[in-house]
Structure 1
Amino acid sequence: MSTIAATASIHAMAVVEDGAVIGENVKIGPFCHVGPKVVLGDNVELLTHAVVSGQTTIGKGCRIFPMAVIGGDPQSVHHGGEETTLTVGDNCTFREGVTVNTGTADFGGRTIVGNNNLFLANSHVAHDCRVGNNVIMSNNVMLAGHVTIEDRVILGGGCAVHQFTRVGRQAFVGGLSAVSYDVIPYGMLNGNPGLLSGLNVVGMTRAGVDRATIHAVRRAYKAIFEGDGSIRDNAAAIRDEYADCEQVMQILDFIAAESDRALSSPTRGQKG
């Protein structure tokens, strides 16, 4: 049996299946479809023709625009119809045609999206992804399965992120870029193949990072990617020097972490 708050507004031509949980002040427009295992938090709005399906929880204040399909089955040949989940945080916006899939059983069965994210038209979040907070995915961005997007990342229109890739905190990826390897926090990546082209100084400044810290991160970046050793050896060598700089330590920890993908650099993937 559905649990529908008294303050919810559901259009007569919407379908809310038995078992759904609908929070306070939810608005569901005409021709929407809400599945039987869906939970819609307070103040969620579904505009006409929006679909929320699967075992999906949508946090408070989210807006889902026409033709978006949130909680669809994973697009994976390994999916055998198992019951997997999608969890979305608060205040996310899913524009027209956005698709977000549930997880796959072989990898924990969970796709997780954080708070305050903006998904522009026709962007896609595949199975088992982890998307942080305050992320912007521009039009037609494609995340393959098992991708991790950390907080405050901006992904330019039409970029594609390879499966199992990580994109670090407050990185910026240019439009139409091919993200085949992990992108460090605060990094900027452009092109196909995607090459690291420096630091997202504009984003750091907007986030309130002071000039002295930005200069420290620049020095660390140069030491990591222009030093004589490997990227990982260079990063390890400067750890003590930058122990008091939070932003540099985030980069060093990201590099040191285990990953299925190599690290993006200013040269990786170039031919010749």
Structure 2
Amino acid sequence: MIHPTAIIDPSCELASDVSVGAYSIVGPNVRIDAGTEIGPHVVIKGPTRIGKDNRIFQFASVGEDPQDKKYRGEVTYLDIGDRNIVREYATIHRGTVQDQGITRIGNDNLLMAYTHVAHDCVIGCHVIMANAASLAGHVRVDDYAILGGFSLVHQFCKIGQHSFSAMGSVITRDILPYVMVGGSPTKPHGINTVGLERQGFSPESIRQIRKAYKIVYKSRLKLEEAIQQLVEMTAETPEIQAMVDFLRQTGRSIIR
């Protein structure tokens, strides 16, 4: 399962069925759980934990030091969950002590070729980052979000669940759950109807989410007034609570 040209630090903890391809390097303080496949020419640096049944393709760099000038060699971490796919030339960096000291990636995510996850990012589950999509430091991406190819996300932004960014989006503010953004400059363009249908949202829930979108983006209400109207909708459409919570927690304001 371990190619003879691979270099594996003796301190690593690899499950018995982990495979490591030719010329890959797995450094100290790395733990890799069962069923994970590491392709050829991959570099993994610790402290890093990689869960079960992941696939990491050739030339990926996983767990490297953060690209932060404040970094002084402190012990920081990367934690990757289960069943993720990390494609060619993707780069994932550990956290910094200026934040929580850890970069986290959940389960069932697809990071396509040349994607970048910077220090202290938190990615949920079932996220898709298309080719060359890049996250600056301290970004949060919630479940089922999709970032189109070459999307660029400014540091400290939050990307809401089931949202969608079009190819080449430059994201400098938060994206509300369920919302599609795109264009230059990046603007909201309705809700992610196709994505919601694929994830089993009912037609009535989608209709109510579209109504909530119009309250936030079309009504010209102040944000607090819009939030109050959304709160009143949550009794019949619980999915809208995600929009309410997100609006109450946004730090950089939403793309609006």
Q: Same fold (TM over 0.5)?
A: yes
SS at structure 2 position matched to 1:10: coil
SS at structure 1 position matched to 2:245: helix
Candidates 47, 56, 67, aligned match of 2:59: 67
| 2:254 counterpart residue number | 263
Report whether the alignment pairs 1:103 with 2:95: yes
Report whether the alignment pairs 1:56 with 2:48: yes
Deviation at 1:227, TM superposition (A): 2.0
Query: CA-to-partner distance for each residue in 1:183-230, whole Å, 9 max, x for gaps?
Result: 011000102321111100000111111111111111111112222322
Q: Distance in 2 between matches of 1:80 and 1:16?
A: 25
Query: CA-to-partner distance for each residue in 1:233-271, whole Å, 9 max, x for gaps?
Result: 2122331233231221111111111x3311111xxxxxx
Report whether the alignment pairs 1:169 with 2:169: no
| 1:238 counterpart residue number | 230
Query: CA-to-partner distance for each residue in 1:140-172, whole Å, 9 max, x for gaps?
Result: 001000000000111100010010000000101
Q: Distance in 1 between matches of 2:130 and 2:42?
A: 19
CA contact (8 A) 1:54 1:73 kept: no
SS at structure 1 position matched to 2:180: strand
Alignment of 1:138-177 (within 5 A): 138-177=130-169
Superposition CA RMSD, Å: 1.0
Report whether the alignment pairs 1:30 with 2:22: yes
| 1:39 counterpart residue number | 31
Deviation at 1:102, TM superposition (A): 0.2
Gaps of 5+ in 2: none
SS at structure 2 position matched to 1:48: coil
SS at structure 1 position matched to 2:231: coil
Candidates 5, 8, 13, aligned match of 2:5: 13
> Aligned pair count?
256
Candidates 228, 242, 246, aligned match of 1:250: 242
CA contact (8 A) 2:126 2:143 kept: yes
CA contact (8 A) 1:169 1:186 kept: yes
Q: Distance in 1 between matches of 2:168 and 2:29?
A: 36
Moved more, 140-149 or 212-221: 212-221
Q: Distance in 2 between matches of 1:15 and 1:212?
A: 55
| Identical columns (%) | 36
Q: Distance in 2 between matches of 1:102 and 1:96?
A: 19
Q: Distance in 2 between matches of 1:12 and 1:262?
A: 52
Moved more, 245-254 or 100-109: 245-254
Moved more, 226-235 or 55-64: 226-235
For 1:142, give the aligned amino acid.
S
Gaps of 5+ in 1: 1-8, 266-272
CA contact (8 A) 1:148 1:167 kept: yes
TM-score normalised by length of structure 1: 0.92
Deviation at 1:95, TM superposition (A): 0.5
| 1:185 counterpart residue number | 177
CA contact (8 A) 1:65 1:96 kept: yes
Q: Distance in 1 between matches of 2:185 and 2:11?
A: 47
Query: CA-to-partner distance for each residue in 1:29-71, whole Å, 9 max, x for gaps?
Result: 1100001100011011111101111200001011111110000
For 2:174, give the aligned amino acid.
D
